[in-house]
């Protein structure tokens, strides 16, 4: 249910977004991007929920792993389509996770 | 819609959770905690969504602001109730936001 992340430090990308109306291929692409991200070196997990806004947090071993995923060709094309048709607006925040604890 | 955070660095608390069945006073308390957090020194904003899991990200100026909010009496009581009746499970991740960009 939660991403099974290791002992910190590691990195998180907090992606918050507001969708446009209609699917327009979004669900298929989102599913594909999660599957593709999970194959990348340094990927640690992902957590996602959407109501008024969507929040997706992906976790990574290093800033280099985040950069490599950002530069992945298929992901770059998907991001371009995201800006053009799927998202009204979004924010991306790159973070270093310093501490983690559970229940 | 999104938290109006300043230029990094600042801090984020990523709270992911799975709720128990039923409301049991949860919605009222969650609303109260957001209102109370917004009054704390160093609070920058909050973003939240829930589907299978809930993700709430609150943003803060400093680790000290996070610590002060953690030690706030009413928040401490709410967290105790959370562990006892509202959450099946949760994770808390304390992060330093290093970079932010938008659409």
Query: pLDDT tens digits, chain A, 103 residues: what are they?
Result: 899 999 999 999 999 999 999 999 999 999 999 999 999 999 999 999 999 999 999 999 999 999 999 999 999 999 999 999 999 999 999 999 999 998 7
B-chain residue closest to A99, CA distance: B94
DSSP letter string, chain B: ------SSPEEEEEEEEEEPSS-TTHHHHHHHHHHHHHTSTTEEEEEEEESSSEEEEEEES-HHHHHHHHH-HHHHHHHHHIIIIIEEEEEEEEEEEEEEEE-
The number of distinct structural domains making up chain B is 1
- B36-76: pLDDT as tens digits: 999 999 999 999 999 999 999 999 999 999 999 999 999 99
Position B3 in a domain? no
Structural Rg of chain A based on CA atoms: 14
Number of A:B CB contacts under 8 A? 112
Position A45 in a domain? yes
Which residues in chain B have their CB less than 8 angstroms from residue A2's CB?
Answer: 16, 53, 89, 91
SS3 A29: helix
State ipTM: 0.96
Which residues in chain A have their CB less than 8 angstroms from residue B50's CB?
Answer: 49, 51
Within chain A, how many helices (H) and strands (E) appear?
Answer: 3, 4
Distance CA A16, CA A54 (A): 5
- A82: its two tokens: 């995201």
Position A2 in a domain? no
Q: Does B38 touch chain A (CB under 8 A)?
A: no
Q: Which DSSP symbol is given to A40? A: S
Say whether pLDDT at B103 is over 80: no
Position A5 in a domain? no
Which residues in chain B have their CB less than 8 angstroms from residue A20's CB?
Answer: none
Position B80 in a domain? yes
Indicate the burial class of B21 (C-beta count within 10 angstroms; 0-12, 13-18, 19 or more).
exposed
* pTM, 2 dp: 0.96
Which residues in chain B have their CB less than 8 angstroms from residue A102's CB?
Answer: 89-92
Position A102 in a domain? no
Domain of A91, CATH number, reads 3.30.70.100
Which residue matches tokens 């918050």? A16
Which residue matches tokens 């905690």? B33
Which structural domain range is residue B36 located in?
10-97
Position A3 in a domain? no
Q: Does B4 touch chain A (CB under 8 A)?
A: no
Position A85 in a domain? yes
Contact B69, B17 (CB under 8 A): no
């Amino acid at each position: 249910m939660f991403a099974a992340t290791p002992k910190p430090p590691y990195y998180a990308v907090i992606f918050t977004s507001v969708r446009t109306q209609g699917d327009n291929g979004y669900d298929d692409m989102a599913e594909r991007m999660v599957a593709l991200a999970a194959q990348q070196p340094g990927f640690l997990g992902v957590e996602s929920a959407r109501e008024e806004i969507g929040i997706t947090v992906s976790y990574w071993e290093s800033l280099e792993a985040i950069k490599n995923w950002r530069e992945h060709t298929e992901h770059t094309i998907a991001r371009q389509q995201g800006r053009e048709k799927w998202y009204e607006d979004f924010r991306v925040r790159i973070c270093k996770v310093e501490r983690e604890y559970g229940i």
